[in-house]
Structure 1
Amino acid sequence: LSERELKQYEGRYQCFASNDLGTAMTSAITLKAAASPYQRPENKEINVRTGASITVPCNYSSSNDRVITWTFQPATVTYNERIAESADGSLVFANVLGSDNGLIFYCIVKDLATRKSTDGPHYTLNVDNTVPLPDRPPTITSPVLTTEPRIVLRDDTLRMKCIATGKPVPSVRWEKLNGNSVVSWPNGRFRTEDFGRTAVISNASYGDSADYRCTATNALGEATRISKVLVHARPFFSVPENAPHDVIKTPGSNVTIRCQAEGIPAPEVEWRVNGVPIAETSPMDNRVIHPTKIRISNLKVSDSAVYQCIASNMHNSIIKQAYVNVLISMPLPVSSEDVEYVQVLGKTVEMKCNVFGSPSPAISWQKDGNKITENERFLIRKSKYLRISEVTFDDAGAYTCVATNEYGNATLSTSLTVFRRTKIQPAAQYRYFVRRGESVTMSVKVILEFVMIKYYLQWFKSDVLIGRGINYDVNNAAFTDSGSYKVMVNTSLDHAAVHLTLVVQVSRNAPLSIDIPLPPLDFYVSPKSGGSPLDVTFTWQPAEDNYSPIQEYKIEFEKDNYRPGKWFPLVDSIPGDRTSFDVTLAAGLRYKFRLWALNGIGWSEAPSAETGSAPTANPSGVSGKGNTPTNMIITWDPVSPVGRNGPEFGYQITYCTAPDCTDKEVLYVDGEVESYEVVNLPTYTQYIINIMSYNNIGNASVPQDVLGYSGEDVPLSAPSDVTVETNEDDATVVIVRWQKVDPDSVRGKVLGYIVSYETPSSNELKERSVGDTDMTGIAGLKPFTDYSFKVAVYNDYSSGPFSQSYVITTPESTPGPPSTMRLRTTTDTGAHIAWGRPQEENGDVIGYVIKFVCLNDSTEIGPISVEGTSYVTSQLRPNHMYDVTVAAQTLKGVGETANIVMSTMAGEGCHGSYSTEKTGEGVPLAAAASAGVVGEVWFIVLMCIIVLLLIIIVIVCLLRRRKGGKYSVAEKEGQLVDQESQQIKSDEYNDETDDAKKPLKSPPPVNGKSTPPDISSAVPLRTRGDSVAGDSIDAFGDDDAREFNEDGSFIGQYGAHESGESSAAATPADDNPVI
């Protein structure tokens, strides 16, 4: 196709593959029609004086990836210290020589897309040698001077060219800077090319972000140019767990799909489901979407789908997919082949029940049809594996595993065969004798019960591999060949070993003779495994017994800091067949040891001295942590004296900045030192630390690196975008959110955030610490209250500045119970109830709800809405007990109730009053008991008898007083009127509210309930006389005796008369008491 025809196919292409279970997609591919570079052929001449500097561009029309090379005629001319190609493809002559006259050169541009090449203009250089230009200092032409940093991507190769002109030809060098200091280049990744003009860093890492200085120097001076390099990164996943991956789940289970991509700049994440942006899909109640993860709970089969995560930044985008397969399947064998297991006696075997099912099937194992129960030898591991420890011949046989779930079951069969363990033994003898200079062959034989198995034989001397096979030949035997030889056989199931001894005699012509033993070999002392620092283990190789078996060993010691040169017995006798012995030493001494061997002839001629060696241990517990912002204290647990193995013991401390370790520092400290402080360090910088033991013989093994940090400092930044979300359903809880601070500004490890909140009225400050998160819930707040919230980050050193305060008012809630509920007055059909406002209003109180429940028969009056803090009713029935409840009300609803229990006065016959107070729901036990007693027949009969007796007493009193004489009725009535008038004046409006001055009339119930038919809506009350006025009760006659209370007092409230007239109510001086 022509370029014009190709243009119509330009665009972005993406492949989608779908089936019934979901849709997968590929990354998008951009297709562009490449245009071939075109250069109009032409010839050009360049006229220049000797010593001048010139830059010749390579003019090319292609914008595609290309490679530029310059060709010279004659071909003997090429790139050198004087002629270079700059980063943009131009050809640069540092200075022109007279020999350059007539030089022809041109550039060749190769288009990588079309794989076509084209030549640029052909230049001819004409050099004027008459008046050469004078020498001059260097000038750097590339890199160009700019304030923009150069961006290189992580793992790419960074190439920096430094092209300089001048006369004489400048030399060029590159340096990496840290501030004004020159730092070392990364090991193994840095090199120079093109005569030192090009610095190359392969596999660029974040630590390569720095300033790089190019310096060009000649005899007349130098020039410098600094290039700033920033290492960015395409989106990537540092660990597989952070990327989506396929999962198989069972119905009802949960799954979390993660997309925690890294990169610089930080990637943005787009979620898709079956190729469709997740925002355009139907919402799911069981799916929660976060920026970097999706959690789906209580999975259903219909939730199966392919989830795509697209992480993008300015450099690239990557797509990862996860197929969430919510599967229902009966157990199915993964393989149709039966597996046979083989093991040797005493070893462990693990057999697998290789089935798949969803939900995961329950596994049980059987042997010979009998179910296997777990015990100390039989263990079912990870619901699939049957592990048998220390197998015996009885364990051999046929095994069956049964996999069962709610959709079916599957059975798999396998078998176990148990063989005897491999044996190895000498083919002829355990001990071989040979005179010096002669040859000998040592042989072994292997006994295998399972003949089909392969085995390997190896010969060792002093733990060094010296041969293979069933035979080992020793030719021209020397004394050094004497000793113990270990022969090891290895199979796929087990291994075994045997020890042979070779004795080389002193002289070829000397007969074999019995003699004292030679000194033991390889005498070592080392810390006892699992013991205390003073517990040691001595080990050695058996001494050559010279034909008389070793009977015993003894160990002696010298305390060189106590009595040098004097040896003392440490262990007097050790059996001759031992090659190790444990001893506990005394503390605070420095020891030397030696070992003797004894056979039937005598003690060895000389002892075996303790073999000195490099330290066997490095310090443990190495850590580095700062306690000021500019230091790091390196600490460690010292090596025990036994592990030091020689004099001049000390520690080599190495530390450097992580991760590149380009500024490594090494220092040495004495073995008694346990810590070292490094000062003048940058705040909270990560360091790689290791500490290696050494003595005058050598170093211990290379220690493991640990990470340490210099000291932390006060965080610099405060969290931003603090918001507080209230909960209309629960006014005591809020959600606080904030934008996390930049980790670099914390100057330490982020331990978490502090949420501080207070009410402006109380100034009671409360704080809550949370982890490294961007939200938290705060509970226990007061409804309808102003709160101020602010957030700060904290590290191990201190907390940082607080954010700007965020002020909210918590929502309204239902109020608490009314306070001080009291019974003001009561009659036979009415009552006056008063209360105070709730202590916890929790909002704007818009009114109250009162309710009367008769305890005698459970009838109810109300609930009734009331605006004020008191209520008067006349709808009650005489001689009845009532539970009166009152609750405040806000826009959120009715709150907690306060209550009292009261009784109305008797209408005819019995008289009584009773009340109690309670805050909250329910009736007090005493009141409930009283209500029950009042309803009992015996109690009513008892009350009537008492009233009858009172009436008899009154009649007797009347009769006696009539016999006592006469008095002036008019005078007594006058006195009565005066006292009543005074009583009315003193008590008028005493405790009355506006409601109390009105007739005892109740508003209609709020819930639409009608008043019981036997209670009128307005009951006028008659004026009561005062029983204490005058000397006689005849002033009122017998007709009004029924209106007295039990205590002789009365309630002087007057109802509305039909004539419209009203009279003042005479009330008691005090409220009725509340019990």
Structure 2
Amino acid sequence: MNLVLAPREKGQLICRASGTPKPTINWAMNGIPIENSPEDPNRKVEGDTIIFEEVQTGSSAVYQCNASNEYGYLLSNAFVNVLSETPRVLTPANKVYQVIRNNHALLDCSSFGSPIPKITWFKDSQSSTLEGDPYLLHENGTLEIYVAQALNSGKYICVARNTLGIAENHVYLEVKEPTRILKQPKYKVAQRNRNVVFECKVKHDPTLIPIMIWLKDNGELPDDERFLVDSDSLTITDVTENDAGTYTCIMNTSLDHDSASAELTVVEATPTPAVIYEQPDPPTDLELTDMKPRSVQLTWIPGDEHNSPIHKFVIQYTDSLHDHGHWHNLTHVPGSKTTAHLQLSPYVHYTFRVLALNAVGLSDPSNPSHMYKTNPAAPEENPSGVKGFGTEHDNLMILWKPMSGLQANGPGLQYKVMWRQKDVDKNWTSVTVANVSKFMVSGTPTFTPYEVKVQAINNNGIGPDPAVVTGHSGEDLPVQAPDIVQVLVLNSTLAEVNWEPVPPKTVRGHLKGYKVYYWRERSLHKHNPHRVEQQLLTFSGNKSHGMLPGLQPYSLYLFNVRVYNGKGEGPASSNLQFETPEGVPGRPSFLRITNSNLDSLTLEWGPPNDRNGHLTGYTLKYQPVNNSNDLGPMEELALPANKTSITLPNLKYSTRYKFYFNAKTGQGAGPVITEEAVTIMDEGKLHPAAPAFGNVSSSMGEDGMLISWEYWGAEKHVYVEYIVKNDNKEWQKEYVNGSQAYVLKGLKEGLSYRVRVVAKGHDNQAVLHQSEEVLVTVPAMPSRQVDIATQGWFIGLMCAIALLILILLIICFIKRNKGGKYPVKEKEDAHTDPEFQPMKEDDCTFGEYSDTEDHKPLKGSRTPSNGTVHRDSSDDSLVDYGGGDGQFNEDGSFIGQYSGKSSIRETAGGHERSEAPSPVNTTTMNSFV
């Protein structure tokens, strides 16, 4: 076997051989006898063993062991690789594992490094490593929790370290509660036309999304409104005989499920009391007798049948050693028996119970029996599901299904894994492992068949000889492209590709098939030059040809071919090209009637979007249609390819015509486009009448373009039609329900539109009347300005402010009416002024407060521009509080503030009065009351 060592590590290569006479062992390094190879003080050869001591970087080599005697020799190679690599954790970071409680959990920590990293696990913020019960650390770094509980949930840290470094990874474990049906549906006997309710109450983990499903006789419920499914029940109303059967409720989550069933029996309604049928009572008095190493006899006493005979007894067991608390069906016996001879497995701690079954359903379980223990033994079976496959090009993964404790038959379960190269090796290479379900064999050649087998071993012996399974080592990408690639164009839309299959050895894996990548490079017509994205067709198996359908006519295509296996695709063949011939063209892009006269109609059309070749012309067919929708004789015209309109003369007046129009290439005619139109009436045979449509006008509104018109016609099918100016597409139509105005919504800003109004006949096809076209332009609308005066919030704010001012005015008025008094007399006594003047009777003013001495404005008011306000330091009057001229009435209240008049002063010459403008207006003074 190959040997991987880190620098300064020790190791051994052992070459053991047997034969008669005893073989001689000779060693070689890189094909040179080891005695002739450069000396290495860290290498010592001792017979059949090479001992390496503190190997150095750069001492990697291939060693050959030659075992020979006089009858022949055997040669074996081993690669000694001295590798120095820091640890790397290969398991994805932050991976979340979910497991149901009481099940085992496996947390992966795949790593790589040299020396081989040592793996340790930590949980959450704990500093101690996870070792011992309930944890088991496998050799590959996987951490196993035998019986996961809620407390095991959390973050786990995997640390890989060697002498060169350390790496860590975080994974998360979520332990979920199991899904259990707490209340199972029970057997029901219902009379016809009555209602029945089956209950099914379930408990599940709240973080998992439950899905409840009801089945009838293991199929879907009938599609009938009488079946009403609720979250925890099924109701069947007005039951019939067809509703009888078995109903099953299934609660599924993403991790587990549980189910329960009950039967419904439908009987005829009868006035006499019906016999009550119920499930039987559980058996009693369980007893174990005739106890042997691998068998035991169980006896019991049946319970009450409740008017329905017992069909059978079901014997269940639980294994307290391996699967405590979970009951499993072991066997069943007819309802006429009360004993059962039970065959047992080794190394199991059995406890039994019995259930009785009649037409109504199962009884409750009996009380459990005494425990019966069987002795361990060698395994009687080997692991199932053995497979051999590669995950990389140089390995072989051997995988198997782990055996349960019940299958192990004893303690110390291990697996002996054996493999050999098919048809090359005679001897098996083996390794014995425990607590794992896979083993990786490294250094295998690419995609080579191997024979593998896995055998069970325990402390009491080995299992039977296992079956041999054939597998393959890992695949690698194919190395050769298909050769001799050819193409045969069958018609304008189909081509056949042929290639020479690649040699099997170059596939280097399971041949899955071939892939043809192809794409339309361009059209061969100047009017359709666009390129189509790459397409892929896969041909499974060892094919050598394939068809390419759905090609575009008259086009240039490129393609290549690749082989692929389970690993991926091989190299592509060289790109080849081919051209598809002409095909029939597509439908003309449009056909419309642009002018309708008494005996003529004018048609316009556009060429097909998909010409698929050179257009050779057009075919126009038309025929009259009467009021009974009967078709008249067909006329046909051939038109040149460069023509885009035609006027048809000599038509009948007031007649509906149906037109059929298609394009042609050299390969034939394309699909037909149809249209209908009506010639106008003979004006000479009618009294002169006003036209059906009057003036058509337009205006732009907030919701769109408003089109209004006058209409005097009798037809009720009126449409507004519009199209972008200079556009060749079909007219857009909007039906008008008896109105003479319509708002066109969704028009694009800045574009001009042709608009017309038409009236159609009873068949809603032929145009009988048509208005003149109007040209409307949708302006590029600026962003709408919001008028704040019309906003609800602004109106509400103004109302609130007005209400607040009104309240303040009311408060001021109340305060004034209370007659607020001011101690004027005391102020005058406290300030004796030599120029004191008594109150003037005639003008009710105080001399010391007259305008001649003080012109103080209120606080915040402006000082008059014709003078400066002077204040004596002894002045202490109510002007300090009023901030301006003060006038009072007899009770001391202010007058000037409400009168709006200035004070009156006397001049030295007499009673001349002058009015100075008051610096305070009425409104401002009112706010200071």
Task: Report the TM-score when normalising by structure 2.
Answer: 0.35
Task: Report the TM-score when normalising by structure 1.
Answer: 0.30
